[in-house]
Structure 1
Amino acid sequence: MLNIVGYHGTSAESAVGIIKEGFKNSEGENEWIGKGTYFFIKGISSIPSDQALEWAIAEAWDNSNRINIYNRFAVIKSEIKVEEEHLLDLTIEDGVNILNYIIEAHKNKIQNMGRFFDYKDGYIIDFARGEGLLDIDVVKGNYYIKFAEQRKRGINLRTANCTICSVYEPNKNITSSTIVKEGDI
């Protein structure tokens, strides 16, 4: 059994709801590593809690209306438990090889699904889970995420700056969650 400590950044109001009712998964075709609840974890950064805080602040800003949609942030620390065979680790060669194998072995089926397709990581992972090709509960990978400073300055690097994980069934794999930071934006 692997133990992963993850940090989730959100509004203070949402954090209270999460602690009471549990996490709700992010869903959609543009998710980095598929449907799930997202956490910053140790990897490229040794301080993922700071990245979760930066994410919460960046996500508060509504660029269209030029205002914050919330004024208080929170960081939730969660304990995640997963069997090693149910973790897809895209930070190592074996994990990337699995993803590439799925693309090659099933490219015709993927392309014939009757919709535009551009081989996004999250879509491939969700496809593989839906087809029963991957029996995974947690995926982790290294990604570049634009926080507030990068958004303001228009910085859009391709070099990964954080390690994140997605937990597909939070009620199954998250054993505890507590709010560890709160503050004003």
Structure 2
Amino acid sequence: MSSRNVVGYHGTFEEHLDSILSDGFKPEKRKNHWLGQGTYFYTDKKLAHWWISKNSQTDPLKQKIKSNPVIIKANIEEKADKFLDLDSPEGVDYFYECIKNYSSAIKKLYLTDNEDINRCAIIDFLTRVYKWNVIIMTFEKNTHKPSYGKIDTITFDSKVIPLNVHYKETQVCIKDEKCIKSKEIEYPTKEYSYPKKIRFDYANN
């Protein structure tokens, strides 16, 4: 059986390292996780640094944590049949085929007008059926400007030139961390600093 490999970066705090390294990750459950329940990684280290730095400043619970943000680099390897790649045409086809196979059961799930809640519920259900352990998908920021970005691409499209070029984040969700073959700790040399914005005179374009 062939396998798939991916490198992921997870932002956390220094005081959690001993627990993670000895006992593993303990992800919190949420009904709107983008790819279902599990431990999340970015494929871009800078985004992992941004995420944990942002949370240390804005999340009331994380504001109480006094230790420094750190990054865990994980080398992930899993059998191909347990790897759902929603960035490939074949992976998307397969995902919808699975939905079709269990459409009657999926209709009984708690589904809403929120795409994140729906995707989370359906992936969690299908994961129990198909035993997926690693799920990967790239999300496009086409409804708002992320704070790590220099340009408001949505406003640029509507007021300057329509280009449909937006920021993207590739997320990796793992269900069982036995697929993590190694963990490396990386200490950022400084806090994440937000980039200087690129500004356009929208009124004159």
Q: Do Structure 1 and Structure 2 share a fold, with TM-score over 0.5?
A: yes
Aligned-residue sequence identity (percent) comes to: 24
Whether the aligned pair in 2 keeps the contact of 1:138 and 1:168 (CA below 8 Å) is: yes
* Residue type at the aligned position of 1:70: I
Matches of 1:33 and 1:155, distance apart in 2: 25
Distance 1:79 1:141, change over 3 A: same
Give the counterpart letter for 2:175 in structure 1.
Answer: Y
Structure 1 counterpart of 2:34: 32
Q: 2:65 aligns with which of 70, 85, 100?
A: 70
Deviation, structure 1 residue 26 = 3.9
CA RMSD of aligned residues (A): 3.2
* 1:14 partnered with 2:16: yes
Larger strand share, 1 or 2: 1
Seen in structure 2, the aligned counterparts of structure 1 residues 123 and 36 have a Cα distance that, compared at 3 Å, is same
1:56 and 2:52 aligned: yes
Question: Which aligned pairs between 1:38-49 and structure 2 lie closer than 5 A?
Answer: 38-41=40-43, 48-49=44-45
Which stretches in structure 2 are left out of the alignment for 5+ residues? 156-163, 192-205
The residue matched to 2:65 in structure 1 has which SS?
A: coil
In the alignment, what sits opposite 2:172? 165
Aligned with residue 23 of structure 1, among 25, 29, 32: 25
**5 Å matches for 1:41-120?**
41=43, 48-62=44-58, 68-71=63-66, 72-113=68-109, 115-118=110-113, 120=118
Higher relative contact order (CA 8 A, sep 6+): 1
Q: TM-score, normalised by structure 1?
A: 0.77
Cα separation, partners in 2 of 1:183 and 1:123, compared to 1, 3 Å: farther
Unaligned runs of 5+ in 1: 42-47
What letter corresponds to residue 122 of structure 2 in structure 1?
A: I
Shift in alpha-carbon separation, 1:3–1:64, aligned structure 2, 3 A: closer
Amino acid at match of 2:187: K
Aligned residue pairs total 173
